[in-house]
Amino acid sequence: MLLNGMKKEKQLIHYLFAVFCGSLCMVGVQKISAPSIGVYSYLIGLFTCATCNMSWLISRTLFRKHTPISKVHIAVAGTIAGLIMFNQTWHYLVSVDVQVFPDSQFMWRLKQGMAEITVLLSSSILVLSFWEALRGYKEKTKTQKLQANIFASCYFLAVFNASILPKFLFSESEFQQFEPLIITSSALLIVLAMQLVMFLQKRAHSSVPESADIEVLNPEKVVKATNQAEQSENNEVEAELITGIEALINKQVYLQTNMKISDFAQALAVPEYKISRAIRYHFKAANFNLFINQYRIQHAQGLLLKDEATHWSILSIAMESGFSSLATFNRVFKSIVGVNPNEFRKQNNSLVEQKIIGLTD
């Protein structure tokens, strides 16, 4: 939680993971403090409302590249959080014998109904979290399949360990004795799986930009290497490879946040060096990173000019265009277009206004 909360360039996944870990910590605090503080542990329980619902949002963010979280998903997660808080509040009021409603039967029926809805939604969310990792499994790259297998396996084992396995191994009294250990081990398994997938995605994403940054910082080396390659007899690019790359571009694969040259190579069943050679000699781009970013910036420019996206934030434009952070988007946009996204939007809005005034005159 602390590592993700203190990152300088935080992304959505870091915020979600920090909240998830914080909520798990509050679950532990509630369990530990319950014997000593009694009914007040239910007040701590108000902050345990971001566990299964937050894990669902995290799984969507990890395995969905385009708009992983919308207002509907936030509403569903918020509803579950509200139900959990209602349940904890009800337990507290009952424990301190506060008569909120004159009719106690009404309150009891309301509580029972809310409890059933909470269990149903929580169970459904757990299944959805598991499914997010395996969704579109056949189309995933080898690296993406590894990440999906890690997440799905750990998630299944954690749920199995917390809910099914104890029924076969322990009696009810024994389960109460071992419950803290069971819940803790299951929660840690999910946390470690999430952290491992985040690490693998970061490493895969940073492998290409590192080499690209070297080329950008050393333009003389790029020119020298290009001239040497042009003199080589083996710099011809196959027509089928060019067609394949163009087909991938037409499918807008560049909008995927973690797109790498290895993904192109795997999709076209060719070595990575052939993709790199085609990009340099046919598409006239210095490296794969620049090649992809050119299409991303074109897409971003289109969004900035759309009337429907007038109220979109620059961060939303960046995410929709395949960038993983706002800082990277601003830097790349300015290097290609010459101005930052905000200035580009203002300039074009001014031109539109001038044309409208001219037409009215």
* Residues contacting 125, CB < 8 A, separation 6+: 52, 53, 55, 56, 76, 80
Number of domains in the chain: 2
> Domain end: 189, 205, 221, which one?
205
pLDDT value at 361 more than 50? no
Q: Give yes or no: residues 99 and 116 share one domain.
A: yes
- Please tell me which residue, 3 or 71, carries the higher pLDDT value: 71
Q: Give yes or no: residues 89 and 188 share one domain.
A: yes
- Please tell me which residue, 139 or 211, carries the higher pLDDT value: 139
Q: Give yes or no: residues 147 and 70 share one domain.
A: yes
Q: pLDDT of 327-340, one tens digit each?
A: 899 999 999 999 99
Dihedral sign (CA 4, 51, 147, 63): negative
Give the C-alpha separation, 153 to 143, whole Å: 15
DSSP per-residue letters across 208-240: HHHHHHHHHH-HHHHHHHHHHHHTSTT----HH
Which residue range(s) make up the domain with 194?
2-205
pLDDT value at 296 more than 90? yes
Q: pLDDT-derived band of residue 207, with 50, 70 and 90 as boundaries?
A: low
Q: How far is CA 327 from CA 9, 42, 260, 274, 351, in A?
A: 8, 41, 19, 31, 27
Q: pLDDT of 155-181, one tens digit each?
A: 889 888 888 888 888 887 777 777 778
What is the per-residue pLDDT for 332? 93
The model carries a pTM of 0.56
Q: pLDDT of 216-229, one tens digit each?
A: 445 454 445 445 54
Q: pLDDT-derived band of residue 292, with 50, 70 and 90 as boundaries?
A: very high
Domain containing residue 219: CATH number:
1.10.10.60
What is the per-residue pLDDT for 208? 43
- Please tell me which residue, 139 or 18, carries the higher pLDDT value: 18
Q: How far is CA 3 from CA 8, 10, 195, 265, 328, in A?
A: 10, 10, 11, 34, 21
Q: What is the distance of C-alpha 221 from the center of its chain?
A: 36
Q: What is the mean pLDDT of residues 104-121?
A: 77
What is the per-residue pLDDT for 290? 92
Tracing tokens 């819940």 back to the chain, one arrives at 183
H-assigned helices in 38-170: 41-44, 52-63, 71-95, 104-134, 142-159, 165-169
Range with lowest mean pLDDT among 186-190, 199-203, 208-212: 208-212
Q: Give yes or no: residues 214 and 291 share one domain.
A: yes
Q: Give yes or no: residues 252 and 188 share one domain.
A: no
Q: Give yes or no: residues 235 and 192 share one domain.
A: no
pLDDT value at 291 more than 70? yes
Q: What is the mean pLDDT of residues 79-108?
A: 74
Q: pLDDT-derived band of residue 311, with 50, 70 and 90 as boundaries?
A: confident
pLDDT value at 232 more than 80? no
> Domain end: 186, 205, 224, which one?
205
pLDDT value at 150 more than 90? yes
Q: Give yes or no: residues 187 and 250 share one domain.
A: no
What is the per-residue pLDDT for 116? 85
What is the per-residue pLDDT for 245? 93
Percent of the chain surpassing pLDDT 70? 83
For the stretch 62-87, what's the b/e string if a residue is b when 16 or more beta carbons lie within 10 angstroms of its beta carbon?
Answer: bbeeeebbeeebeebbeebbebbebb
Q: Give yes or no: residues 44 and 171 share one domain.
A: yes
Identify which of 56, 68, 80, 55 has the alpha carbon closest to the alpha carbon of residue 11. 68
Q: Give yes or no: residues 54 and 198 share one domain.
A: yes
Q: Give yes or no: residues 241 and 114 share one domain.
A: no
What is the per-residue pLDDT for 228? 52
Mean pLDDT, the chain, integer: 81
> Domain end: 205, 221, 245, which one?
205
- Please tell me which residue, 352 or 5, carries the higher pLDDT value: 5
What is the per-residue pLDDT for 224? 52
What is the per-residue pLDDT for 227? 52
Q: pLDDT of 235-281, one tens digit each?
A: 567 888 899 999 999 999 999 888 889 888 888 888 888 898 899 88
Q: Give yes or no: residues 179 and 230 share one domain.
A: no
Give the C-alpha separation, 278 to 241, whole Å: 8
Q: Give yes or no: residues 191 and 211 share one domain.
A: no
What is the per-residue pLDDT for 173? 76
